[in-house]
Structure 1
Amino acid sequence: MADLDLLTRSLARNVKRWRTERGFTLDTLAARAGVSRGMLIQIEQARTNPSIGTVVKIGDALGVSVPTLLDYERGPNVRIVPADRTVRLWHTGRGSYSRLLTGTEASGPLEMWEWRLMPGESSDSDPHPDGTAELLHVTAGELTLTVDGDEHRVPAGASASFEADTPHTYANTGDEPMEMIMAVSVPPVH
């Protein structure tokens, strides 16, 4: 697991870098991301550790992936992420979590996640930018995926894909842990 202070400083540096590169003022980014200007100032000054939802909103508004916002090492074209360097951005006391495994800036941000939801737990997601797609593969248990109010059951061994520009929820309504691998593709910002 990466050091939290290192991630906070990396997030500060990278948000400011991408905001400046895009020509966005703090007010512009705040409006695009739906995050307060004060929160952005605290993030850029490394004075806060924002929620994963806030980081995703900022990444979406900037058109960059979460790994790019948290990246503290720029290296060769091949990037190996050791297991102990993945980033767990969300967790509950009962054992549910999401871990960002890797990501890239291909033609737009592309991220790969590992998720675990304990029985009875769920995670809501705000709509991503138009054109965002998610692919997921359930490796254990059963996922209850709700997209724009419609509920879908995805059992172990099954996969699903959907347009993620609408509200969606990942839930475990079963009695055993649910585990899945998920890829998120966000279109580039022009």
Structure 2
Amino acid sequence: MADDATGAGPAVGERIRRTREERGLSVRELASRAGLSAGMISQVERGITDPSLQTLRVIAKVLNTPLFDFFAAAEADDVAIIRADARMTIRSPHGGLTYTRLSPGSGRIEVLEGVLQPGASSSDEPWAHPSEECVVVTAGSLVVEVSGQTHRLGLGDSCYFDSRLPHRYLNDTAEPTRFTLAITPPSY
């Protein structure tokens, strides 16, 4: 598996293909809008290439669908139990960030546990998406950058913001940072 791979697996490619077709887009149209090659989209859809988190974000944005919908389970029951050993996990490029889904992925809120390695960030550049977020630090400290302003959070601190503002998370310490993140509605 490449260093920037997410561990997405072939089911993710199938969900991308299905969503693309539901939107009436060809592989070439999706590739053009996403700034990717048609070959890359085709390989992702066929499960040949394991896409990076950034690639999945771009595809999700073009398809106007929440990123984690690509990893969605079957229709949700009235009560969803997510066992600790069965949680879905994806890793960012270079492995600096890991997200583990705590919610079932079929509701109106996405709850994730994040682990940000020392010196890592959630993305190279701040980015925006149509949601609201609340992050709570559960171990270490976290820098939350929103619209160019930085906010340092310590253990137990939380931060709520409009995700339409460019943002990202940074760990400028020598220890891993662990946090819980709630996003509503789920988005790319």
Return the TM-score normalized by structure 1. 0.77
- In structure 2, what is the Cα distance between the partners aligned to 1:96 and 1:102? 18
How much does 1:123 deviate?
Answer: 2.6
The equivalent of 1:64 in structure 2 is 65
- In structure 2, what is the Cα distance between the partners aligned to 1:134 and 1:68? 17
Q: Say whether the 8 Å CA contact 1:138–1:159 is kept in structure 2.
A: yes
The equivalent of 1:115 in structure 2 is 114
SS, match of residue 47 in structure 2 = coil
Letter in 2 for 1:28: E
- In structure 2, what is the Cα distance between the partners aligned to 1:139 and 1:127? 23
- In structure 2, what is the Cα distance between the partners aligned to 1:132 and 1:32? 22
Alignment of 1:43-58 (within 5 A): 43-58=44-59
SS, match of residue 24 in structure 1 = coil
How much does 1:33 deviate?
Answer: 3.4
Alignment of 1:1-190 (within 5 A): 7-71=8-72, 73-77=73-77, 78-90=79-91, 97-106=98-107, 110-124=109-123, 127-129=127-129, 131-186=130-185
Letter in 2 for 1:151: T
SS, match of residue 122 in structure 2 = strand
- In structure 1, what is the Cα distance between the partners aligned to 2:96 and 2:186? 32
- In structure 1, what is the Cα distance between the partners aligned to 2:174 and 2:28? 45
- In structure 2, what is the Cα distance between the partners aligned to 1:25 and 1:79? 35
% identity of equivalent residues: 31
Structure-2 change in CA distance of 1:79 and 1:9 (3 Å) = farther
Structure 1 residues 158-167 or 140-149, which shifts more?
158-167
- In structure 2, what is the Cα distance between the partners aligned to 1:163 and 1:28? 30
- In structure 2, what is the Cα distance between the partners aligned to 1:103 and 1:128? 23
- In structure 1, what is the Cα distance between the partners aligned to 2:95 and 2:58? 26
- In structure 2, what is the Cα distance between the partners aligned to 1:164 and 1:98? 17
Letter in 2 for 1:99: T
| Structure 1 unpaired stretches of 5+ | none
Q: Say whether the 8 Å CA contact 1:67–1:102 is kept in structure 2.
A: no
How much does 1:143 deviate?
Answer: 0.6
- In structure 1, what is the Cα distance between the partners aligned to 2:132 and 2:47? 31
How much does 1:93 deviate?
Answer: 8.3
Return the TM-score normalized by structure 2. 0.78
- In structure 1, what is the Cα distance between the partners aligned to 2:34 and 2:63? 8
Residue by residue over 1:97-143, the C-alpha shift from the partner in whole angstroms, topping out at 9 and shown as x without a partner, is: 33233353546xx42211122333323255233x3222111112211
How much does 1:82 deviate?
Answer: 1.7
* Structure with greater strand share of residues: 1
